[in-house]
Structure 1
């Protein structure tokens, strides 16, 4: 296993560069994990709007019923019927909706005529729409009674309105499960893992390939008693060992920070996705290692690939905030599909055929990237061998 040992001796000599990316990743993971705030409860809660109710129609049971109904669903604020004071109240948000009942409202409603209430509201506000819905509900209910029971007295009409409008639908929220507090945290962790993994594998593999692809050393190796097939097998074993060792080191912190969560379905899928991504990155690193000619180029390419793919694929900026053109370009990189799978894994409350098929499709695409790049690399190596 001379080649295998030599592989890790070269890695050992380049440990300083590799450790930089490892330390940066661990620091980012700890900082982001500490700074993360869990999402607030997004359950629906009813909020009452401040409104002003002005009656120009005089006292009637119909107007009193409208005022009572609105008072149950909004806060009635007493404001003098003066233009300046009403405008000031609206401007300073003492009220968000001013409703004026015009003269003749009760008579027109009882006779089945069209009526138009006057309103002054905060432009483009949700409270405006909400109050319109409440008022229309009341008026439409009145219109239904006056249309089909035209001789109904105001007393009977008010009683029926109060009974009908008091009816409410019961809403039950059904959920298949709840998110763990570590779900989104671990998603950020494994997304950032792609940056360090890319940089470390490129630097490690390229540093070894630069040594073994040296012309003089290659000629000396060909003269050695070790067969070429055995030498290549040890080189492949060295690359796989280095990639798996790097993966184990990078994921080790997740077990410390998230504990037993990593043994849940979500945690295991994140680990599987990161391992598949490791194989794809190893394949890309092997191709780059057979193309670079100098250490300066090696460092530059490592930074370009690690940072570039991270920025456009959703590692540093969430994918939902990136433009369509950027995501189209990013879809030609394995990092995009890796991050996409991570996001789907952490967003799922439970796993079923639908979301699992999408997750595994992304993993297969990542693996396909690795196989395709490996094929190109083998063709390149064979072509060089023939030319030599």
Structure 2
């Protein structure tokens, strides 16, 4: 196993560069764990809007019923009927909705005519839409009674409206499971893992290939008693061992930080996805290692490739914040599909056939990238061997 031992001796001599990316990753992982804030509860909660109610009609029972209904669903703020003061209250958000009941409102409603209330609101606000829905609900219900029960007294109409509008529907939210905060944290952890994984593998594999691709050394190896097939086998074994060792080191911190979560289905899927990505990254690193000609180029390619794919694929900037054109370009890299699978795993509350199909499809695409690049690398190596 002389070639295998030589492989790791070369890695040992280049451990300084490799350790830099390992330390960077660990620092990012620790910062993420300490600064992460779990998402706020997104369940619906009713919030009352501050409104002003101005009545220019008579103090009828119908108007009083409307005011009582709004008081139950909003906060009525007592303001004088003064244009300047109403505008100031709206500007400083003392109120968000000003409703004015015009003269003749009661008579028009009882006679079945269409009634138009006057309103002044904060532009494009949700409170505007919410209050419109409440008021329209009251008016539409009142209009239904006056249309089909003509001659109905104000007292009866107000009583019917209060009874009908007091009806509430019971809503039950059914969840397929709970979402662990560790899922979000570990998702970010494994997203950042791709950057360090690419950089470490490119540097490690390229440093070895620079030595073994040296013309004089290749000629000496051809004259050695070790067969070419044995050399190639030990080289492949060395690359796989280095990749798996790197993967084990990078994922080790996840077991310390997230504990038993890593043995749950989401945790196991994240580990599987990262292992598949490691194989694809190794394949690309092997191609780069056979193309670079100097140590300076090796470091430059490692930085550009690792950082470039990370920025456009969603490692440092979430994919949902990236433009369509950027994501289209990123889809031609394995990092994009790796991050996509990680995000789906971290966001899933439960795993069904559709969710798993999407996740495994991304994994297969990552593996396909690795196989395709490996095939190109083997063709390149054979071509060089023929030319030599």
Q: Please confirm whether the aligned pair reaches a TM-score higher than 0.5, indicating the same fold.
A: yes
d(CA) in 2 for partners of 1:371 and 1:231?
21
CA distance in 2 between counterparts of 1:355 and 1:219 reads 53
> For residue 285 of structure 2, what is the aligned residue in structure 1?
285
Q: 1:269 maps to what in 2?
A: 269
Give the aligned partner of residue 36 of structure 1: 36
1:353 matches 2:353:
yes
When normalised by structure 2's length, the TM-score is: 0.99
Question: Partners of 1:295 and 1:351 in 2: how far apart?
Answer: 46
Aligned length in residues: 388
TM (norm. structure 1) is 0.99
Structure 1 gaps, min length 5: none
Q: Deviation digits for residues 213-261 of structure 1, max 9, x if unmatched?
A: 1111111111111111111101000000000000000000000100000
Q: Which residue of 1 aligns with 2:181?
A: 181
| Equivalences for residues 124-135 of structure 1 within 5 A | 124-135=124-135
SS in 2 for 1:290: helix
Q: Measure how far apart 1:113 and its partner are.
A: 0.9
**CA deviation digits over 1:300-358, x for unaligned, max 9?**
11001100000100001000111111111100000000000000000000000001000
Q: How does 1:132-281 map to 2 (within 5 A)?
A: 132-281=132-281
CA distance in 2, matches of 1:21, 1:86: 61
Once residues 209 and 366 of structure 2 are traced to their aligned partners in structure 1, the CA distance between those partners, rounded to angstroms, is 24
How far residue 162 of structure 1 moved from its aligned partner, in angstroms, is 0.7
SS at match of 2:62: helix
- C-alpha deviation, 1:96, in angstroms: 1.0
How far the C-alpha of 1:171 sits from its partner, in A, is: 1.1
Query: Which residue is 2:85 aligned to?
Result: 85
How far 1:151 sits from its partner (Å)?
2.1
C-alpha separation in 2, matches of 1:336 and 1:43: 31
Give every structure 1 segment of 4 or more consecutive aligned residues whose post-TM-superposition deviation is greater than 6 Å: none
Distance 2:117 2:381 in 1: 82
| Residue 120 of structure 1: aligned partner | 120
Structure 2 SS opposite 1:182: helix
Q: State the secondary structure of the residue aligned to 2:37.
A: coil
Aligned to 1:68: 68
Q: Which residue number corresponds to residue 367 of structure 1?
A: 367
CA distance in 2, matches of 1:108, 1:18: 82
Shift of 1:161: 0.6
